[in-house]
Amino acid sequence: MKTNLPVEEYMGRLKALLPRFLKWEYTGLCLLVLIVLILHLATLMHPSAPIFDEQYYIPDARSILQGSGSERIEHPPLGKLIVAGGILIFGDNPFGWRIFSVLFGLACIVFFYLICRQLKLSPRASFLATFLLALENLSFVQASVAMLDVYSLAFMLASFWLYLKGRHTLAGVSVGLAALAKLTGALALPVIVLHWLFTSRQKPWRFLLSMLMAPAAFLLLMPMFDLTIWHRFVNPFSELGAMWRASSLATFAAYPSPMLSRPWDWLLRPEILTYWVDPHYVGMISPDIWILIIPIILYSVYKALKGSSAAVLALAWLSGTYLFWIAASLISDRISYIFYFYPTIGAVCLGLGLWSERIFRGGAQNHWAKVTRLAIPLYLLIHLAAFVVLAPVSYWWKLPGCVLLYILARYELSVEPGNLGGQLPQPRVSPAAA
């Protein structure tokens, strides 16, 4: 019996698979994730010293691995354990410190695309929004360093996706995991509740019970994670009290610093926070994204009033993850940094995807055709230029990487109907659904 196929037959099968691969909806997403991964790996080992808040989380992870417990009592255990896990698996070196941040950052990209598609955005609008998020400077930097925010955001986005798919119980558990990575992950809960209130309101008791899974998962899982850290049972309510007391002491008055900034400043003027000088890790929202935040908010309000579920989620997302910090700053003088806006970047990119949907759908009309042909390619170039200037990756990597990314984006965002990124013709979706 013949077991080995001839080389010609193998090549024939590969050639037959290529058109199917190009027509697969997720081809562009996979290539985007692959290129972003390569860009992360190109800079992962630099610098070889802890960056910014890594100076707190890396020693804390070492303390956990040495059996001495955690020194960062203001944070829940899951995010700290993930950093410690990277060191345990890959060694106490920059790769071990940061590799899980990179992987969770890539998961954020995938979940965000799935969220866009679940909200009925077209594949090209979803890809554009995801492309902008993946190459946004603050998002790229936070996924490059051993801090807790990226772990929390990945679980937050997973909760949004699960909620939109109708898996409310799992969404609640994911919110609990987001809060266990960093307490601000709990802000995913008001986002989901706000969206449900303005779009569904079906089966309220079942929904309420599902959302109660968030605090239940948090309180049930925290002692298990703490057991790994402390090797003994820790009362979750006592630990929450300690976190609250530590957080309440962190005020502008108690810790004056030029690195701090008020939440309203993040929208009204560019904020720059230097994490490291060479390579230049800069905590800054990409300028091309920042300048459109307020217009996107206004457009999302307009679309929400028209019945767009995507616009409602964008506004709920922004309200839950951003307005909270304004209230905290005004009421308690709680300190804040520009990277606290990191979980909100996705809401802005979702709004941009919704905006692009209008342009794409009008591309066949004369008055939109020129806008589609010129505005979007130009904006992509500006976005990539901002990435080239701001990202901590060597120019030897990011220049050719951005060329490939631009070619990929232009291919995926082809304006030809039914031939978008190799896509098969997509059914039209009513404006209200988008």
Q: What torsion do the CA atoms of 178, 179, 184, 189 make, to the nearest 10 degrees? A: 80
Within a domain: residue 154?
A: yes
Domain of 342, in residue numbers: 26-422
- pLDDT tens-place string over residues 75-107: 999 999 999 999 999 999 999 999 999 999 999
Report the percentage of the chain scoring pLDDT > 70.
88
Within a domain: residue 321?
A: yes
Within a domain: residue 60?
A: yes
CA separation for the pair 39, 144 (Å, rounded): 10
CA separation for the pair 360, 390 (Å, rounded): 29
Domains held by the chain: number: 1
Within a domain: residue 430?
A: no
CB hemisphere CA count around 270 (13 angstroms): 13
Of 15 and 403, the structure prediction assigns the larger pLDDT to 403
Within a domain: residue 7?
A: no
Taking residues 163-189, report their average pLDDT.
Answer: 97
Within a domain: residue 377?
A: yes
Taking residues 291-299, report their average pLDDT.
Answer: 96
Within a domain: residue 280?
A: yes
- pLDDT tens-place string over residues 139-168: 999 999 999 999 999 999 999 999 999 999
- pLDDT tens-place string over residues 12-24: 666 667 677 677 7
Model pLDDT, residue 359? 80
pLDDT at 431 over 50: no
Within a domain: residue 233?
A: yes
